[in-house]
Chains A and B, each alone.
Chain A
Amino acid sequence: MMMEAPAREPVNFAGLLKDAVFAAAIAFGLFSLMLGLKTDQTLNNQMVLVPRPGLLATVVGLVFIGRFLIGYWQAINAGKIKKRKAAATPLALKIEKYGTAAFVGFLFVYPMMVLGTAGPSGAIKWIDNLGIQILIYIMLGWGLNIVVGLAGLLDLGYVAFYAVGAYSYALLATSEPVKEFMAGAVGPTFWPLWAFWICLPVAGILAAFWGVLLGFPVLRLRGDYLAIVTLAFGEIIRLVLINWVEFSGGYAGISSIPRPSFFGVPFNATESGFAATFGLEFTPIYRTIFLFYVILILALITALVSTRLRRLPVGRAWEALREDEIACRSLGINTVNTKLTAFAIGAMFGGFAGAFFAARQGFISPESFVFLESAQILAIVVLGGMGSLLGVVIASILLVGGVELLRELDFLKAYFGDNFDPAQYRMLIFGACMVLMMLWKPRGLISVREPSVFLKEKKAVSSDLVKEGHG
């Protein structure tokens, strides 16, 4: 039997209209001088006022309609009882599981799909600017997720480890002594071809080492203090890279970093190049597609390791640390080591991503490792829902892909004039999205926690119970 809707009070249209007229009047008062008049210069260098009644009328009209619609929406929703936030269901976990599987499958066919639709020259943009860029941020997000999402340690300087990884690879690969040594030991062509594959683990290990180095002094800090010190750490690394010119090249950065080879086969137009070896026509797209798969595999390794770690004692200790540090110590958990492993493993994945970034760009400078990068990676983790891998993916696509898509909105110039550049508005949109998220879903897009072990039934834990850590 259908439930009968409770009797609702009729919507008071007169009141709504009055309200809207009032709002429009305020808008008229505000904008009549700000938008309604424009100062301009004539050819005689005289200042004149240009009235813009059309624009003013449009804005006031929009305010009128907007206020009316908001009022109407509030009125029809007033009678409804707000449903209690449904408890986390296993459905959410199912969505996460199958959603992730479907997404990974999609990623593997993505380059082929794009190649088929856009052709070799058009596909580069979609694979490189969109695909690789998003995957780098997904990987960074997953790495930072270990520190922030699992262990609950707010790290505002994550980009430092990204920088350590990038510079480790760039410096080792371009260093003359290393080149000479390798040329003497294995032959002259060895190092440029294999540098990436050898330096990748080295970059990760060095970043992990710097993670531990950062971890030691901040172990005693919590909350805001921890955030400030990690922020400072990120800036210190960047400033050292700028100012220690002999070491890192300063602002000029490091250029002609060797590109990764297809396990020893370079991507070039020569006889021994990738295209010739496999009997293909040479285009630069092969390298891009290869890079896409490299970062895809690296990101998947990150995801695999961090899901696995969550089910191991060390991962449970991280989460327990986020929930209650004192209780952890009362259970015999060495919180110092636990925090250090979180910093080190998070930093290691940042280092891998950094080495890949250097190899993909072929050029790095301190400009790439500013605080805004840290903020963006952190925003991805927070928007995604702390601790959720799928959330990080969605947030990366929205934040990184969204900005890239803004560049595609050239048709808007038809409406707003030729000077309109949608990409200029990315920070505004970014900020607005953040505010909306904080209002709508303060714990992120995927705000349920999946238990690491279960007896009978895996029940998701609602984010209302999950703590956010000490900072």
Chain B
Amino acid sequence: MDRLKIIKKNIMEKKTTILNLTEEEFVHSGNRACSGCGLSIIYRIGLKALGKNTILVVPPSCLTVLQGLYPVASTKLPCVNVTFASTGAAATGVRGAMKALKKENVNVVAWAGDGGTGDIGIQALSGACERGEDIIYICYDNEAYMNTGVQRSGTTPQGVLTTTTPIKGKLQEKKDVPSIIAAHGIGYVATASAAYPLDFYDKVKKAMTISGPRYIHVHTPCPPGWSFDTRFTIKVGKLAVKSGLFDLYEIEDGEFQLTGESKRLVGKEKPPVTDYFNSQGRFKSLDAELVKTVQERVDTKWAKY
């Protein structure tokens, strides 16, 4: 399908396209993100979706840096920076204040990295989900502690070289954070990719129509951390989805469905995972056996879709 046809199809399906994406920007250009930063893409697009009436809650992460150093800020929305482990609870506090002050219709949005979400922050997030707090939680998963210099995290995939898995690569598999959050039975869990920003935009928009805890987990390529050229952020992100390693889906009221590019892949032949592995330096210590194991895991998973 050529691009024009895809755009026409998306318009028919009421999906956002580059033609009808809102023009208003909430992130200033010239911010402190690295060039080619996947977070930089989704933060810009995500805030467009959220709009002005939003309060952000951000723990330490690359986003803290992206947002600038006092007294300059690159975000045009109110934002409270909070301690690392506290994001879910801090978002709870903002919502609590909105209720107490009778301020309706404010989006309370936590935006954290994979460490701040699935590792040090998982207790506060789990608590907020269990209590049914009316918040949107967006996790940008760049698959390691990038802000501190590429140390392993719970969501680092198996075999990846990081500065704390420098020789053998990470021994353990990637922690499935969205499934953990979905197990809380909240109304909306979705995955997205920085390589498909408009799909992410629509998922944020959908999340805004639902109340209670909503969680979006965004696969976010990181050129310095994953060791690829800054030109290839989108390409690398798309390969993760197209090879079937990272799946785009939504779980609405417990109903799972693949979405976007992942939905289109069902029943189709996918590029081998080695295409994805070879696109980055962080996988260079993978041995053939682990590559085979990962391919088998992907094939088994997709056989169920």
Partners in one complex: no
Please list the residues of chain B having a beta carbon within 8 angstroms of any beta carbon in chain A. Answer: none
